[in-house]
Chains A and B, each alone.
Chain A
Amino acid sequence: MSPIDSWDEATYVFTGGPDSFLTVLSVVVAVVMFVGFIAVMVRHEKHAYAQMIHHEPVEKGPAVEGEPQVY
């Protein structure tokens, strides 16, 4: 992954180097993970709101320490 063979006259030193497949892939994966985070949040919110409205626990199983009681 090193873009350099020597530190003499080195400029960019990051893994893969600029415009490389690895670098572009890293950016794409990072963006996909970001979009996935938003999607997970939307799903969590919908579930949490529905459970609360139906007076059901948000998570299955016993409440962990600090978790609020079922509304």
Chain B
Amino acid sequence: MTPEDTLASMEAVVTDLFYWMSIALMICIHAGFLAYEVGASRSKNVLASAMKNLLTFAVVIATFFFFGWWFYNAFFQFPVGAIDAATAALPWSEDMGPNVTSVTGIFWGAFALFAATTGSIMSGAVLERIRTSSFLILTTVLGSVVWIIGAAWAWHGNGWLLTEWGWHDFGAAGCVHLIAGAFTLGVLMNLGPRIGRFVGGKAITIPPHNLPLTMLGLMLIFVGFFGFLMGCVVYTNTGYFTIFGNPTNLSAIAFSTLMGLAGGIIGAYVSSKGEPFWTISGGLAGVISVAPGMDLYHPALSFVIAAVGGMLIPYIGRLLEKFEIDDVVGAVSVHGGCAFYGLTVSGFVLWGYPNVAIDGFGTPPDINPLGQIGGAVVLALLGFVPGYAISLALKKVDMLRIPAEVELAGLDLSEVPATPYPEGIPVTTLRNEDAVIGGEEVKA
């Protein structure tokens, strides 16, 4: 074996290992979403929520193999970029299976986990009243068609938003978070709120059955995000690059991710006055807010942008409530709202950063506000329109929502043949005056 062969072999090994780690860490996102949504559910829907998360993972992985990866390879130029070349991404091609000279599987795997994340983002918002089968159909469309077309446009080395508008979005705020948030908003508009969530136009809080579990779930998502952002870096034997071709490294991303988490949590604490659900969601909001420029932002600026993002989410949540939109976990606020905000801010803060010349496409425009805001609008529409249209079609055929009787009694009593807490959940009984026992106010 020549030294060149040895080097090539080691490059393949390290590339495989790099993304293998990324995939493993991203599974923590799904463990986190599962815990998060189980905690956010009422105890009558706990197992149904867990099953929905588990099946999201399975359904998106499978369909992403069947056709999702092909969309990424075929659609990077508008409207279709490389239909012929994309045959290498069809599930019967020589790269889409064990091949000792190809690392396609490891890249496919990382993208499949990104895809599953989009489904999990929607999952929490629609808790406790969507039919699981309809949800999985919607998840398939979101995870294996819509977001990956967005990724081809906005998260590809030759994507048209980059080559034509100078788009820059290191951490996939646009194609993952904004598309998933906008798609979810479209679904929520047709799905309607949980029974009892709005009475006489007034929003009624439906408490989660286990807020500590929800908080632990979000901490797991934070762990998973290190895998997610690791997967946003293109590793080669000569160093790290972003998907847009500019050099970077994990050191840069460590600064922005941690300062984004810190800023988001602090910002959300301030604006929600210490409400635990919004405060911990602020960490996610912070990372998403800085995601477009986390390869370029100074850590202090990341903190500031993230803190404002964290401050925004309770307000976006209240705005949605005015329209009687019941987003159980704040997914539209955190993912859609902060991604749009982060992309808008990045257009101004990163204004003038040059893009790297691309073979066959010349040098794209510098990063600019119109490119970033225009791209965000395009991706928001790409997410919202199919989400609204397909959920409307499911609603018309009476497949979108569970029957009211089932919703009132709980999904765990019908479609899930098991019970989560067979011995019940211990309840702290207060015996002071004006105590609340079993949900009814009593006077001592």
Contact call B413/A52, Cβ cutoff below 8 A = yes
Chain A's closest residue to B65 (CB) is A30
Contact call A66/B93, Cβ cutoff below 8 A = no
Q: How many residues of B contact A (CB 8 A)?
A: 34
The residues of A with any CB-CB pair to B shorter than 8 Å are 10-14, 17-20, 23-24, 27, 30-31, 34, 38, 41-42, 44-45, 48-49, 51-53, 58-59, 64, 66-68, 71
B94 within 8 A of A: yes
Contact call B98/A66, Cβ cutoff below 8 A = no
Q: Which residues of B contact A30 (CB under 8 A)?
A: 62, 66
Known: A64-B417, A68-B413. 5 other contacts (CB 8 A): A34-B59, A45-B132, A49-B402, A67-B417, A67-B419
Contact call A52/B406, Cβ cutoff below 8 A = yes
- Contact status of A19 and B92, CB under 8 A, knowing A58-B417, A68-B413: yes
Contact call A38/B406, Cβ cutoff below 8 A = no
The 10 closest A-B pairs by CB, nearest first: A14-B97, A18-B94, A52-B414, A12-B94, A48-B415, A48-B414, A14-B98, A12-B99, A41-B133, A23-B92
Of B91, B415, B419, the residue contacting A45 (CB under 8 A) is: B415
CA distance A29 to B58 in the complex (A): 17
Of A17, A23, A41, A66, the residue contacting B132 (CB under 8 A) is: A41
B83 → A minimal CB distance (Å): 17
Contact call A45/B131, Cβ cutoff below 8 A = yes
Q: Which residues of A contact B236 (CB under 8 A)?
A: none
Contact call A34/B66, Cβ cutoff below 8 A = yes
Q: Which residues of A contact B414 (CB under 8 A)?
A: 48-49, 51-52, 58, 71
Q: Which residues of B contact A52 (CB under 8 A)?
A: 405-406, 409, 413-414
Q: Which residues of A contact B131 (CB under 8 A)?
A: 45
Chain B's closest residue to A42 (CB) is B133
A35 → B minimal CB distance (Å): 10
B74 → A minimal CB distance (Å): 17
The residues of B with any CB-CB pair to A shorter than 8 Å are 59, 62-63, 66, 91-95, 97-102, 131-133, 136-137, 399, 402-403, 405-406, 409, 412-415, 417-419, 422
* A-B pairs under 8 A by CB, number: 89
CA distance A66 to B97 in the complex (A): 41
Q: Which residues of A contact B132 (CB under 8 A)?
A: 41, 45
Contact call B100/A10, Cβ cutoff below 8 A = yes
CA distance A10 to B98 in the complex (A): 11
Contact call A13/B99, Cβ cutoff below 8 A = yes
CA distance A10 to B101 in the complex (A): 8
Q: Which residues of A contact B409 (CB under 8 A)?
A: 52, 71
B85 → A minimal CB distance (Å): 15
> Residue among A41, A66, A68 with the most chain B CB within 10 A?
A68
- Contact status of A11 and B413, CB under 8 A, knowing A34-B66, A68-B419: no
- Contact status of A49 and B66, CB under 8 A, knowing A17-B94, A38-B133, A38-B136: no
Contact call B102/A11, Cβ cutoff below 8 A = yes
A5 → B minimal CB distance (Å): 15
Contact call A18/B93, Cβ cutoff below 8 A = yes
Chain A's closest residue to B137 (CB) is A38
A49 → B minimal CB distance (Å): 5
Chain B's closest residue to A40 (CB) is B133
> Residue among A14, A41, A45, A48 with the most chain B CB within 10 A?
A45
